[in-house]
Amino acid sequence: MLLAAASSLPAWAHAFLDHALPKVGSTVTQAPQNVHIWFTQDLEPAFSTIQVVDQAGNRVDKGDTSVQSGDEMLVSLKSLPPGKYKVMWHALSVDTHETDGTFEFIIASQ
């Protein structure tokens, strides 16, 4: 009976942001070479993307989003000067639920 009750619990099937590097809202002193984002579910690589833009809205990633080990997505960055950057992500979990979001990080001048 317990097994039947446990199997009827709702499944949280959406891929939500778990953590990121650089960290969400962080200030870093070295420009990162990549943005890595980990999710709570495995992703469908063909339909999951990351874009990074500067304060003027210019795209600063290399357009090479890839999914690593199922739940990790990353994109390479161009050489970045100090400033504020916005990361925009779109994730499609393997069970076809879509999520998206944004976060910012700052590269401080040294």
What pLDDT, on the 0 to 100 scale, is given for residue 92?
93
Average pLDDT over every residue of 88-103: 94
Residue 43 is which amino acid? L
Distances in whole angstroms, Cα of residue 41 to Cα of each of 27, 77, 95: 27, 24, 9
Q: How confident is the model at residue 110 (pLDDT cuts 50, 70, 90)?
A: confident
Task: Indicate the pTM of the whole model.
Answer: 0.86
The alpha carbon of residue 25 and the mean position of all alpha carbons in its chain are separated, in whole angstroms, by: 13
- Provide the H-helix boundaries in the chain: 2-7
Domains detected in the chain: 15-107 (2.60.40.1220)
Residue % of the chain over a pLDDT of 70 = 88
Q: Count CB atoms within 10 A of the CB of residue 106.
A: 15
* Pairing verdict, β 98-107 and 27-28: parallel
Q: Residue 100 in 3-state DSSP?
A: strand
